[in-house]
Amino acid sequence: MIIRYRPEIDGLRGISIILVILFHAKVNYFLGGYFGVDVFFVISGYLITKILIEASKNNSLSLLDFYERRIRRIIPALYFLLFFLIIYCYFFQSPYFAKDLSQSIFGSTIFAQNFLLMYEHTDYFNLDTDLKPLFHLWSLAIEEQFYLFFPVLFLIFFVFKKQKKFVILIFVLFFLSIFYYIIAPYFNEPSFVFYFTLTRIWEILFGCIIALKVEEKKYSKKITLLGLFLIFFSVILVNYSISDHYLRFIVIIGSGLVLIFSSNKGDLVSNILTNKLIVFIGLISYSAYLWHVPIYSIYRDMFTYEIPFINNLIILFITFIIASFSYLTIEKIFRKKKLVSRNLLLLFLPLPFLTFIFFGIFGHLSDGFEKNKIIKLDPSKKDFYISFTEENKKIINYLKDNGEKSALNKDTIMVVGDSLAGDITRALSSQKINASRYSLNGPCFYKLVESGSTCDTTLKDILKKANLSKLVIISSDFTNEKSEEGAFKLYKFFVDNGIETKIVGAINFKYLSSTSYKFAKYNFYRDHKKLYFKNIKPSVFLINDYFKSNIKHDFIDKLELFCDYNKKECNFYDQNLNPFFYDTKHLTVEGYFYLGKLLIKSLNL
């Protein structure tokens, strides 16, 4: 199954992994760096198909050989990472994140990480996602799911000499996947479209089609340069809020042009793609792909979201050192059959596989080994720990007797928004103030005012109910939804219709359950108030400033009710160390009562 080595393809891999890493490093102007994953999809489809074609020509096509080769390529380096993360998860992570990572270890072991992220409704572009050490393995999962069926189909059609029908089938699957990719956003949420296998395999199939039907053309410097330009052009355009949904087509076409027309000639373009450093980065790209997200995730969990320039350089250096070590001592060794025989490989696989599976299950069932971890906390700081599980149970019990009211009248405050609007409703209700939530997610605000109907709501209906209320409050998860402009537009609509309206601002920080655990566990965290302030998401301040400058007296800065901007401190506990928050933004039962008292003063009720 040996095909002619093309260093320029490793060069393209090197460029792709650099783009991906710069995206996760949050380097300016590389917001579209995640398109490097799409380039990898095309390269993967192309190379795998070339390998299968070459094997069929030599009458050496074997599924056993194919999957053995795939296992040698993927599993050892992956298991090396997973072993490291098991140690980190059990001994160092907070229970909340340990549970999440345990689930991801399970999902990654069976190559189902994309389905786990879909189930969790994980937003790829949310800062919270950066705290998931294995979220990036969604793309590896899609590749391996694809290669479960593609080689089998290839073998069946080529054994029976039905190559033309196979090509037709690949084209049909390619266009069906593209069609589904185009229409999926109209019926599904963004996370589904982003992670689902059927909305992604057209990219891999494009590489397959190039290998099947397009011969390597005579080298063209101009077309190769055009291909690279299309990739970088798309990466840059994302910085200007251009939707990535259709830019992805440009990236795929650019990748295809480089695969078809590139070569290792001695001109400038070829010298870039075959540069020794770029090619080496391409060679270690799989290990770099595996390790860079966990390293950044650990840093952000232990310290802050925002990474200083020097720290970023150090993290990048560490990433490439570990990736080089993984490639040279694990990947290369396991690929050589003389060093690791098939029998030895099969002997190696079962134990770590079962270890990861059982670790994932136990980590999930034990809520991230919470009991074991709490026992080991410093007794003098133990009470600062905020248990996500326990606080969630308290809320469930509280809501059994204090459910939200739905009736609206002139004595009722209508709170419009998502789960954070629910928090405002409960906070007011804790002080015997009649409040009722009108459920409407932030991204729907702008569309509702513009079109008059969206998200199962009409402007006529919301206006009718607002007129029945004495006051309207808009509250939503502005930080993750970027819905502040929509909230302002909805605010203006209510005010223009003579309805008194307030907006409660953004509040969002790193998971308090995790941050409080670190404070209780590690002595180098000295001041919990300053630690919590450091863990506020940077965009919160920008969003609240936007509201302050646009609506002034009708704005309530929720963050300011808990945090002192001048001292850079946040107080998230009452005098008995009962917490006011338990995740990234939601109130505890004690938080309802505390915020309720503050809202009464802010609203002059």
With a cut of 90, say whether residue 430 has pLDDT above it.
Answer: yes
Residue 1 lies in a domain: no
Task: Report the largest interatomic distance among the alpha carbons of the chain, rounded to a whole angstrom.
Answer: 83
Q: Among candidates 442, 410, 408, which has minimal Cα distance to 425?
A: 408
Residue 414 lies in a domain: yes
pLDDT digits (tens, 9 = 90+) for 511-551: 889 999 999 998 888 889 999 998 898 889 999 999 999 99
Among 338, 371, 404, which residue terminates a domain?
A: 371
pLDDT digits (tens, 9 = 90+) for 104-116: 999 999 999 999 9
Residue 520 lies in a domain: yes
Q: Which two tokens stand for residue 17?
A: 């992994």
Gap between the Cα atoms of 55 and 312, Å rounded: 44
Residues 343 and 430 in one domain: no
pLDDT digits (tens, 9 = 90+) for 472-486: 999 998 876 678 999
pLDDT digits (tens, 9 = 90+) for 162-215: 888 999 999 999 999 999 999 998 888 888 999 999 999 999 999 999 999 886
Among 343, 371, 399, which residue terminates a domain?
A: 371
Residues 295 and 444 in one domain: no
Average pLDDT, the chain: 91
Residues 146 and 227 in one domain: yes
pLDDT of residue 290: 97
Residues 218 and 245 in one domain: yes
Residue 378 lies in a domain: no
Residues 304 and 180 in one domain: yes
DSSP-based three-state secondary structure for 132: coil
Residues 358 and 403 in one domain: no
| Contacts of 70 by beta carbon, 8 Å cutoff, 6+ apart | 144, 147
Residue 294 lies in a domain: yes
Residues 310 and 433 in one domain: no
pLDDT of residue 124: 84
Gap between the Cα atoms of 26 and 35, Å rounded: 14
Neighbours of 2 (CB within 10 A): 9
Among 371, 405, 436, which residue terminates a domain?
A: 371
pLDDT of residue 217: 64
Residue 315 lies in a domain: yes
Residues 249 and 390 in one domain: no
- Specify the amino acid at residue 498: G
Residue 487 lies in a domain: yes
Q: By percentage, how much of the chain surpasses pLDDT 90?
A: 69
With a cut of 80, say whether residue 396 has pLDDT above it.
Answer: yes
238 within 8 A of 248, measured Cβ to Cβ? no
With a cut of 60, say whether residue 87 has pLDDT above it.
Answer: yes
Residues 404 and 514 in one domain: yes
Residues 302 and 443 in one domain: no
Residues 279 and 312 in one domain: yes
Helices (H) and strands (E) in the chain, counts: 30, 9
Q: How many domains does the chain have?
A: 2
Core vs surface per residue 406-431: b (16+ CB within 10 A) or e: eebeeebbbbbbbebbbbbbbbbbbb
Look up the CATH number of the domain holding residue 570.
Answer: 3.40.50.1110
The DSSP element (H or E) to which 462 belongs, if any, is helix 459-467
With a cut of 60, say whether residue 593 has pLDDT above it.
Answer: yes
Mean of pLDDT values over 121-149 = 90
Q: Among candidates 485, 586, 584, which has minimal Cα distance to 542?
A: 485
590 within 8 A of 578, measured Cβ to Cβ? yes
Residue 240 lies in a domain: yes
- Name residue, tokens 């998502």: 418
pLDDT of residue 567: 94
Which pLDDT band, with edges at 50, 70 and 90, does 462 fall under?
Answer: very high
Whole domain around residue 364: which residue ranges? Answer: 7-371
| Contacts of 580 by beta carbon, 8 Å cutoff, 6+ apart | 562, 572, 573, 574, 587, 588, 590, 591, 594, 595
Residues 230 and 327 in one domain: yes
